[in-house]
């Protein structure tokens, strides 16, 4: 069972009876999950469009929610449909990975921001040159060849540098976690 199910379902049932306040809470809450869901699958402009389209779809089709079924599965069905619609419009690809409702409700835009902040904080521990390399290759998807050309290092040197940097970050993270556990 998805954690938000009971709360969202209550809001939805109230909204179906005409409770605008509950409906506003519901749409606000869903928007945070939808933003994160589409941001992980579409580019920024298309993602916000998809969020709005999904909200409108939820609104115009709200009568199709059957209170005997999980509300989160209903929302996920619509979100997935709108994602496929978006892919189809841009002829990007015909298949959508078989994820499920938990994937929509397991993330929201706040947790995504925390994850990004954590990565940035961790990277700050590296010396600037190494940090740039790790960021380029591991986060921004620059190829090893391009990074080598940019820095003047050989490709194998780039690979070794990134590998060692990641390893040292892992060790740092391990120490941090051990320290935190010891403090408890």
Partner 1 sequence: MQTDDLIAHLSNDLPPVRNGAVMRILLSAITLGVIGSTLVMVLVLHPRHDLAAAMTSFGMWTKLLYTFALTAFGFWLVERAGRPGADMVRPALLLALPVLAIALLSVIQMNATDSDPRLLLMGHTARVCALLVTMTALPTLAATFWALKRLAPTRLALAGTGAGLFAGAAGAFVYSFHCPEGAAPFIAVWYSLGIALTTGIGGFLGPRFLRW
Minimum distance from residue 115 beta carbon to partner 1 (Å): 22
Q: Is 75 in the site for partner 1 (CB under 8 A)?
A: yes
Question: Do 55 and 26 meet the contact criterion of CB atoms below 8 Å apart?
Answer: no
Binding partner 1 by CB under 8 A: which of 7, 40, 43, 85? 85
Minimum distance from residue 29 beta carbon to partner 1 (Å): 10
DSSP 131: H
Question: Do 49 and 102 meet the contact criterion of CB atoms below 8 Å apart?
Answer: no
Question: Is the Cα dihedral 151, 159, 113, 87 positive or negative?
Answer: positive
Q: Give the orientation angle of helix 5-16 with respect to helix 20-39, to 10 degrees.
A: 130
33/54 Cα distance (integer angstroms) = 11
Question: Do 107 and 37 meet the contact criterion of CB atoms below 8 Å apart?
Answer: yes
Q: Is 78 in the site for partner 1 (CB under 8 A)?
A: yes
Q: Is 106 in the site for partner 1 (CB under 8 A)?
A: no
Q: Is 6 in the site for partner 1 (CB under 8 A)?
A: no
Task: Supply φ then ψ for residue 64, to 5 degrees.
Answer: -80, -5
Binding mask 22-51 toward partner 1 (x if CB under 8 A, else -) reads -xx--xx--x----------------x--x
Minimum distance from residue 74 beta carbon to partner 1 (Å): 4
Identity of the residue, 19 or 155, whose beta carbon is nearer to partner 1 in the bound complex: 19
Binding residues for partner 1 (CB under 8 A): 15-20, 23-24, 27-28, 31, 48, 51-52, 55-57, 59, 61-66, 69-70, 73-78, 80-81, 85, 101
């Amino acid at each position: 069972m998805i954690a938000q199910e009971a709360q969202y379902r209550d809001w939805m049932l109230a909204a179906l009876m005409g409770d605008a306040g509950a409906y506003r809470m519901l749409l606000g809450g869903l928007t945070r999950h939808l933003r994160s869901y589409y941001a992980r699958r579409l580019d920024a402009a298309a993602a916000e469009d998809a969020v709005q389209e999904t909200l409108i779809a939820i609104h115009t089709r709200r009568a199709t929610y059957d209170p005997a079924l999980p509300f989160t599965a209903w929302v996920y069905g619509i979100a997935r449909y709108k994602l496929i619609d978006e892919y189809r419009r841009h002829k990007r690809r015909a298949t959508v990975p078989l994820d499920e409702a938990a994937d929509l409700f397991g993330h929201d835009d706040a947790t995504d921001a925390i994850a990004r902040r954590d990565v940035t904080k961790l990277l700050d521990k590296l010396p600037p040159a190494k940090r740039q390399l790790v960021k380029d290759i591991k986060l921004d998807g620059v190829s090893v060849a391009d990074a080598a050309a940019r820095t003047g290092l050989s490709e194998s040197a780039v690979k070794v540098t990134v590998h060692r940097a990641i390893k040292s970050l892992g060790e740092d993270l391990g120490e941090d976690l051990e320290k935190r556990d010891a403090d408890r």
